[in-house]
Amino acid sequence: MKKTDTLETLVRIEKEMAAEGRADEVEALRDAAGLVARALTRSDDGLLTTGNAAERLGISISTVKRWAERGTLKGADTGTRWLVTRESVERILRMRRTLATLDEQGNPTPEEFMELRRRRARVGAENAE
C-alpha cells in the first residue's frame, strides 16, 4: 500500500463516520491523518506539502491544490491538507527545463510546421494503403 493510500483511507473512513454522525471517531481520524501527514512530509519518502511544492515550482499554493485535484500533480487530500509527490513536482520541473531548451534552440517556423504536417499526412496515407 502506498503511503498516500493510507492517508486517503483515513480520510474516506473519516467521511463515512461523519455521515453516520460519529463525531468522536471523526475527530480521532482527523488527528490521525494529520499526524501521518506531518510524519510523511518530515521524512524523505517523497511527499511534499503544498507550500513546499509551490515554492519549488514558483507558483501559488492554490495552484498546487488545483493541479493536484485535476491530476497534474500526484498527491492526496488528507482532509486537512494536500500532500503531493516529490516525483510529480520533479516531472513538472523537468518538462519546464525541456521546454526552455526547445525555446533556446528555436521553435519551428510556420513553414516548417506545415511541412511536418504534410509529411505526416503522406505517411498516414501510405500506411492506410
- pTM of this prediction? 0.56
For 120, residues 6+ apart whose C-beta sits below 8 A from its C-beta are none
What is the structure's pLDDT at 73? 94
Q: What are phi and psi of 74, to 5 degrees?
A: -85, 135
35/55: higher pLDDT = 55
Query: In the chain, how many domains are there?
Result: 1
69/33: higher pLDDT = 69
| Range of the structural domain that residue 53 is part of | 3-128
Q: Does 1 have pLDDT greater than 60?
A: no
Q: Return d(Cα 56, Cα 48) in angstroms, integer.
A: 10
